[in-house]
């Protein structure tokens, strides 16, 4: 069936592929490649591969980075320090993103993928072709094409009617055939587009007044993954071929990127799009997505001697391999940009080479000279016919494509009244689980409230704030994941309904939220109403006279604060009195809004 157009009947079969997938079950054994190389006096250096960054560390690093950026951008009256060299030199970046496809079988064998088997024992999911046994032939698995096509359509690419397979030759034990099968010359998708905004992380200075920035996608190609090498110092290396032959796509952007922040934003956006259409297994934080970046610099107003895919006048580029986090992408580009500028300003020449980056480093390191087409000896794969894709398949996938991140964010803004920033936050977090939670809470809340206060955008904004800031704050303080949050959407709807109907104060609502999140999920779990009644927390508002008496007593005790508001015009300090009233008043008696009105009246602000 390889090389033939997929007809509707075949398409229906693809969606229901089942049955046993055969792969030799072998016990883990010592690495024979190391012994073979050592017996011939050859070096056995480890394959420099990145360790997956744990999700918690990844999130903490991103939070620290954003906090540092916010602090750096706010310098009071001090002028922010800018490297003067950046006004002279222009950075250009192109990115290659490698993503593991979400498939049950490998690209050219029926062996199950590691993700389908939950990783399994080492070397337990290996077919004869994966281990390069003599006489084994590749057989393209059509089901692997579906997630790749969804990715290409979501990235706005033109899917090619005919594509081909090439062999990329190099010798290393992680590629037992001595070559990788890829689509270098005839990829299955070309000419895509990626659109980013300030909310995606693009610096506003790069937009030049436009609402968005468009980054071209040169092509998307399918290819094999390599085996996994584990080092056991001082000189032992174990190879797990479970990953060998796992289907990948490589998304190659054009060199349209001119800042490290934009480069990181591009990788984030590609990951979000791939995950939204269920094309990739996991994100960058768990090792399912890796990025290589091509970096060059040139003097502004001048043209360099290099060109790439129709973009000319570029400087000599270097490639940084295997970046495994968004922070690594940004930091590695900054380090390589600064290194190249220093070399050029000292009269040196940039060499085309492959470089590496380590977490926490300040400089990139040379790995080897940059390989080209001649080094890899690209040639068509003689064992695989061309891949033909029927237009009917493309149209079916296009019509059934899930909602893309940009569309989701627009819908959340429109239907739930959230800002662009909040819409992006709630839509992008926790694989959509947080957004589903918010939508369910809004639906339940509308049922609890009468029509006078059940305007969906208004309620959506209220619920969105509670989900993002109150529940998010509990997550942060307790260092827990979204899956660990134990407040049901119905419970949050009950809390917000009581606050909205002025049965309890917002402060009490937050206390109830924290209490429920700390309770076990069992039959003894109290309801929101039970907690309110047991704690005597229902709002018993003071009279106007009581409000004024409480506020006046606090003002009499703090004449300096009164003077600061009245005489010095420091009107913001009026809220200090509101906070004191809430703290001093008996629980459930002081409404912050009413307290503020009374304070402003007495202070004349």
For the segment 52-64, what is each residue's pLDDT rounded down to a tens digit? Answer: 555 555 556 666 6
Q: How many Cβ atoms are within 10 Å of 562's Cβ, its own excluded?
A: 18
- Number of Cβ within 10 Å of residue 216's Cβ equals 18
Q: What is the pLDDT of residue 61?
A: 67
What's the confidence (pLDDT) of residue 416? 94
Distances (CA, A) of 452 to 331, 473, 490: 52, 30, 21
Chain centre distance of CA 234: 36
| pLDDT above 90 (res 157) | yes
pLDDT of 479 reads: 83
Chain segment 226-268, per-residue pLDDT in tens: 999 998 999 999 999 999 999 999 999 999 999 999 999 999 9
Cβ density class 49-61: b for 16+ within 10 Å, e for less:
bbebbeeeebbeb
In this prediction, residue 256 carries a pLDDT of: 94
Q: What percent of the chain has pLDDT over 70?
A: 85
- Answer for the pair 293, 332: CB distance below 8 angstroms, yes or no: yes
User: Per mean pLDDT, which range of 78-92, 284-298, 470-484 is the poorest?
Assistant: 78-92
User: Which residue in 269, 302, 109 sits closest to 201, CA to CA?
Assistant: 269
What mean pLDDT do residues 502-510 have? 88
Does residue 116 have a pLDDT over 80?
A: no
Overall average pLDDT of the 15-42 stretch: 41
What SS3 class is residue 181?
A: strand
Interatomic CA distance for residues 254 and 593, integer angstroms:
54
Question: Residue 45's pLDDT is what?
Answer: 43
Q: Inter-axis angle of helices 405-416 and 260-276, to 10 degrees?
A: 80
Average pLDDT over residues 441-458: 80
What per-residue confidence (pLDDT) applies to 70?
55
- For position 3, what pLDDT does the model report? 43
Q: Judge whether 97 and 270 are in contact, CB under 8 Å.
A: yes
Residue 69 clears pLDDT 80, i.e. is over it? no
C-alpha 265/C-alpha 599 separation (Å) is: 46
Residue 498 pLDDT grade (very low, low, confident, very high; cuts 50, 70, 90): very high
The whole-model pTM stands at 0.76
Going by pLDDT thresholds of 50, 70 and 90, the confidence category of residue 7 is: very low
Stated as kind and residue range, the H or E segment containing 303 is: none
- Of the pLDDT bands very low, low, confident and very high (cuts 50, 70, 90), residue 372 is confident
For CA atoms 386, 392, 394, 396, give the dihedral sign. Answer: negative
Distance, first Cα to last Cα, the chain: 79
d(CA 213, CA 479): 35
> Angle of helix 433-448 relative to helix 405-416, nearest 10 degrees?
20
Task: Inform me whether the pLDDT recorded for 5 exceeds 50.
Answer: no
CA–CA separation, 160 and 497 (whole Å): 54
Q: Is 312 exposed, middle or buried (0-12, 13-18, 19+ CB in 10 A)?
A: exposed
Q: Quick one: CA torsion of 396, 397, 398, 404, rounded to 10 degrees?
A: 150
Residues, the chain, total?
605
The pLDDT score that the predictor gives to residue 4 is 40
Of the spans 360-374, 378-392, 438-452, which averages the highest pLDDT?
Answer: 378-392
> Is residue 50's pLDDT more than 60?
no
CA angle 474, 480, 482 (to 5 degrees): 85
Distance from C-alpha of 577 to C-alpha of 366, rounded to nearest angstrom: 61
**Per-residue confidence (pLDDT) for residue 565, from 0 to 100:** 87
d(CA 536, CA 526): 15
% pLDDT > 90, the chain: 55
Spatial contact of 233 and 92, defined as CB atoms under 8 Å apart: no
Band of residue 72 on the pLDDT scale cut at 50, 70, 90 = low
Look at residue 339 and tell me whether its pLDDT is greater than 90: yes
Confidence of residue 365 (pLDDT cuts 50, 70, 90): very high
Interatomic CA distance for residues 552 and 256, integer angstroms: 62
Look over the chain and give the mean of its residue pLDDT values, rounded to a whole number: 85
Distance of CA 69 to the CA centre of its chain: 19
pLDDT at 28: 40
The mean per-residue pLDDT over the stretch 536-553 comes to 87
pLDDT exceeds cutoff 80 at 38: no
Q: What whole-number distance in Å separates Cα of residue 479 and Cα of residue 485? A: 11
CA distance 400 to 406: 17
What pLDDT is attached to residue 202?
93
Higher pLDDT, 521 or 378: 378
247 contacts 107 by C-beta, under 8 angstroms: yes
Report yes or no: 105 and 111 within 8 Å, Cβ to Cβ: yes
Boundaries of every domain in the chain: 8-45+88-396, 405-534, 544-603
- Range with the lowest mean pLDDT among 80-89, 142-151, 239-248? 80-89
């Amino acid at each position: 069936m390889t090389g033939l157009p997929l007809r509707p009947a075949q398409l229906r079969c693809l969606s229901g592929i089942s049955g046993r997938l055969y792969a030799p079950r072998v016990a883990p054994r010592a690495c024979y490649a190391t012994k073979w190389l050592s017996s011939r006096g050859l070096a056995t250096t480890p394959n420099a591969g990145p360790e997956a960054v744990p999700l918690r560390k990844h999130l903490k690093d991103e939070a620290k980075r954003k906090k540092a950026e916010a602090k750096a951008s706010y310098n009071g009256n001090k002028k922010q320090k800018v490297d003067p060299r950046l006004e002279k030199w222009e950075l250009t970046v192109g990115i290659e993103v490698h993503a593991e496809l979400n498939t049950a079988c490998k690209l050219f064998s029926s062996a199950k993928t590691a993700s389908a088997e939950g990783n399994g024992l080492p070397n337990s999911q290996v077919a004869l072709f994966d281990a390069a046994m003599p006489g084994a032939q590749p057989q393209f698995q059509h089901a692997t094409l579906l997630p790749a096509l969804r990715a290409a359509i979501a990235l706005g690419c033109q899917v090619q009617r005919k594509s081909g397979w090439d062999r990329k030759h190099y010798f290393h034990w992680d590629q037992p055939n001595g070559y990788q099968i890829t689509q270098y010359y005839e990829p299955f998708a070309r000419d895509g587009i990626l659109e980013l905004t300030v909310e995606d992380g693009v610096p506003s200075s790069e937009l030049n007044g436009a609402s968005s920035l468009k980054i071209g996608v040169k092509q998307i190609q399918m290819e094999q993954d390599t085996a996994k090498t584990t080092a056991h110092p001082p000189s032992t290396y174990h190879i797990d071929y479970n990953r060998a032959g796992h289907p990948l796509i490589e998304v190659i952007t054009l060199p349209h990127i001119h800042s490290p922040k934009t480069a990181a934003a591009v990788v984030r956006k590609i990951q979000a799009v791939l995950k939204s259409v269920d094309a990739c297994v996991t994100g960058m934080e768990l090792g399912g997505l890796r990025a290589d970046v091509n970096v060059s610099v040139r003097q502004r107003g001048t043209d360099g001697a290099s060109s790439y895919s129709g973009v000319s006048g570029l400087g000599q580029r270097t490639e940084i391999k295997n970046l495994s986090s968004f922070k690594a992408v940004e930091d590695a580009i900054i380090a390589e940009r600064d290194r190249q500028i220093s070399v050029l300003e000292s009269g040196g020449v940039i060499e085309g080479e492959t470089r590496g980056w380590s977490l926490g480093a300040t400089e990139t390191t040379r790995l080897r000279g940059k390989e080209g087409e001649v080094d890899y000896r690209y040639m068509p794969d003689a064992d695989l016919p061309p891949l033909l894709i029927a237009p009917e398949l493309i149209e079916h996938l296009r019509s059934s494509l899930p909602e893309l991140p940009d569309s989701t964010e627009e819908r959340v803004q429109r239907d739930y009244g959230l800002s662009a920033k909040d819409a992006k936050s709630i839509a992008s977090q926790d694989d959509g689980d947080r957004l589903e939670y918010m939508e369910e809470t809004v639906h339940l809340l509308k049922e609890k409230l009468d029509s006078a206060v059940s305007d969906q955008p208004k309620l959506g904004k209220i619920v969105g704030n509670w989900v993002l800031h109150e529940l998010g704050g509990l997550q942060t303080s307790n260092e827990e994941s979204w899956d660990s949050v134990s407040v049901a959407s119905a419970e949050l709807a009950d809390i917000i309904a009581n606050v909205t109907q002025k049965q309890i104060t917002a402060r009490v609502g937050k206390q109830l939220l924290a209490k429920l999140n700390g309770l076990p999920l069992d039959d003894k779990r109290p309801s929101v109403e039970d907690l309110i009644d047991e704690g005597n927390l229902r709002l018993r508002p003071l009279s106007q006279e009581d409000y004024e008496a409480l506020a006046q007593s606090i003002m009499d005790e703090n004449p300096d604060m009164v003077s600061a508001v009245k005489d010095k015009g420091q009107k913001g300090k009026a809220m200090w009195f509101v906070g004191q009233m809430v703290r001093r008043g008996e629980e459930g008696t002081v409404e912050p809004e009413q307290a503020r009105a009374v304070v402003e009246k007495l202070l004349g602000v």
